[in-house]
């Protein structure tokens, strides 16, 4: 069984000095559980550190909400999977604080911080200024005019920068609205009516990434075993978009859902094009003496 490292104490003790964050543009998924049904909200990370992440999200998150997230790190590293708490969200910008992470994911995050840190803050050598003879009055006036023109251009760009940021955010939101399925209830209903039902045996052969469930403590105390069957909707990118229990012991069903929502499959293709499918997944819970 995979273990999750709690990060709450580490974050509390180091909150005063704050973690360094570094710019990072990378896709990420946020899984939030509402009304007992997990929902995946896509986003894009804009900066990342050991304490948390800032991202532009394609859906609304609530302050204080507990979520699961996966950040696809660059340079061929394994994705970082963690549990986090939503600190705040304004417009599309959201800040999340890590509260739990698997040891391998935390190691990957630390490796990325160590890799990007020296490049993000290069050492700058300060050289002593050379003594120069006073420039002629005409040269000083020319230098002053050039400096003032540069300052004027800089001021214009600073005045336009908020408008550019807003425009970029609108373009990103529009792109997500057209590329992702599942934010508008009407569009979800339309998409589900076109779902292809694929047997579990076929989808098992295309499984790329599997997360083992954590055995619930209550089930361990009761020595409860059994097979949990969940229904899942697999998106065109191979990610699990929706998952809900269908049969099996209730005490084990939540653990099965929490694990399956992180699974990844090879996209199912129809006529050479990825398709969204509906299938069932079996998760077997067995106690080993």
pTM: predicted TM-score of the whole model, two decimal places:
0.36
CB neighbours of 108 closer than 8 A, spacing ≥ 6? 73, 77, 78, 80
> What does the H/E/C string look like for 73-118?
CCCCCCCEEEEEEEEEEECCEEEEEEEEECHHHHHHHHHHHHHHHH
Retrieve residue 63's tokens: 């302050």
β-bridge mates for residue 53, sequence order: 48, 96
Instruction: Tell me what pLDDT residue 117 has.
Output: 60
pLDDT in tens, 151-182: 888 888 788 878 788 888 878 666 655 554 44
Q: What CATH number labels 5-120? A: 2.40.10.220
CA–CA distance, 267 with 206 (Å, rounded to integer): 8
CA–CA distance, 170 with 21 (Å, rounded to integer): 25
195-285 domain in CATH 3.30.930.10?
Answer: no
Retrieve residue 250's tokens: 């209730």
The structural domains of the chain, with segments of one domain joined by +, span: 5-120, 195-285
β-bridge mates for residue 23, sequence order: 47
CA–CA distance, 7 with 103 (Å, rounded to integer): 11
User: What's the average model confidence in pLDDT over 19-40?
Assistant: 84
Does 77 or 214 have the greater pLDDT score? 214
pLDDT in tens, 73-112: 776 677 888 999 999 988 889 999 999 888 887 887 777 7
Please tell me what DSSP assigns to residue 239.
B
Does residue 244 carry a pLDDT above 80?
yes
Does residue 184 carry a pLDDT above 80?
no
Task: Tell me the pLDDT of the chain averaged across its residues.
Answer: 80
């Amino acid at each position: 069984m995979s273990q999750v490292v709690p990060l709450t104490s580490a974050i509390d003790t180091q909150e005063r000095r704050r973690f360094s964050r570094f710019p990072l543009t990378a896709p990420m998924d946020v899984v939030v559980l509402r009304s007992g049904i997990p929902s995946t909200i896509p986003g894009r990370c804009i900066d990342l550190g050991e304490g948390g992440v800032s991202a532009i999200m394609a859906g609304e998150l609530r302050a204080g909400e507990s979520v699961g997230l996966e950040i696809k790190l660059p340079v061929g590293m394994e994705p970082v999977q963690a549990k986090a708490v939503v600190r705040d969200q304004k417009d599309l910008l959201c800040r999340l604080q890590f509260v739990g992470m698997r040891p391998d994911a935390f190691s990957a995050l630390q490796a990325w911080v160590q890799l990007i840190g020296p490049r993000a803050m290069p050492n700058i050598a300060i050289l002593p200024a050379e003594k120069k003879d006073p420039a002629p009055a005409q040269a000083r006036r020319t230098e002053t005019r050039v400096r003032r023109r540069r300052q004027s251009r800089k001021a214009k760009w600073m005045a336009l920068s908020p408008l550019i940021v807003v425009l970029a955010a609108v373009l990103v939101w529009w792109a997500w609205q057209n590329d992702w399925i599942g934010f508008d209830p009407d569009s979800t209903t339309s998409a589900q009516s076109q779902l292809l039902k694929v047997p579990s045996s076929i989808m098992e052969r295309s499984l790329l990434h599997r997360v083992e469930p954590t055995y619930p403590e209550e089930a361990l105390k009761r020595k409860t075993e059994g097979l949990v069957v969940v229904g899942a909707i697999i998106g065109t990118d191979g990610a699990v978009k929706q998952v809900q229990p269908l049969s099996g012991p209730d005490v084990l069903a939540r653990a099965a859902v929490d694990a399956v929502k992180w699974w990844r499959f090879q996209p199912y293709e129809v006529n050479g094009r990825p398709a969204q499918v509906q299938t069932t997944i079996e998760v077997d819970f067995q106690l080993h003496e």
